[in-house]
Amino acid sequence: MTFDRKLLLIAPTIVLAFIVAGMAYATTQLRVLNSGEDTWKERSNFVAAVERKEKSLTPAQATTLLKLSLDVEARRAAGIRAAHDLLFALAIMTAICVLVLVFAIRRIPREHWPRFNFGGASRESSSSASSTPGTPS
């Protein structure tokens, strides 16, 4: 069984496709973390009304409200850390895939493109290939 050189290009390309999907997932999760921002104005108005003594709040309700806000803050911080870690891992994977693709593309022979060698090796090989064996050059 021979090693297909195209596999050197296909595998990193598939991984890059998964990386794009992971980045899309991370952005949607960050959008979900930001969804609490939609009701911030109403919650802020409620707290301001309590401060102005327009609405009453018992100590038990205040404690519950404080616990809920701390829980939300902890979850938000954990979500941001997880998104940061995911994006960092995806960036490392992307860099590795790009390096593999660069080295793999250089290893695959170019059959349809001319090779640009910046030395005399290409002229010598073409002149020796054009001469027939047994005839003096």
pLDDT tens-digit series, residues 120-130: 554 455 555 55
Residues 44 and 51: their CA atoms lie apart, in Å, by 11
- Tell whether 56 is covered by a domain: yes
105, part of any domain: yes
> What pLDDT digit, counting tens, does each position of 63-119 carry?
988 898 888 888 888 888 888 888 899 999 999 988 888 887 777 766 655 556 666
In which domain, by residue range, is 80 found?
7-109
Is 53 a member of any domain? Answer: yes
Task: Identify the pLDDT of residue 137.
Answer: 47
Q: Are 9 and 105 in contact (CB under 8 A)?
A: yes
Please report whether residue 136 resides in a domain. Answer: no
Residue 133 within any structural domain of the chain: no
Highest mean pLDDT among 10-14, 40-44, 87-91, 106-110: 87-91
Number of domains in the chain: 1
Q: Does residue 26 form part of some domain?
A: yes
| 46 found inside a domain | yes
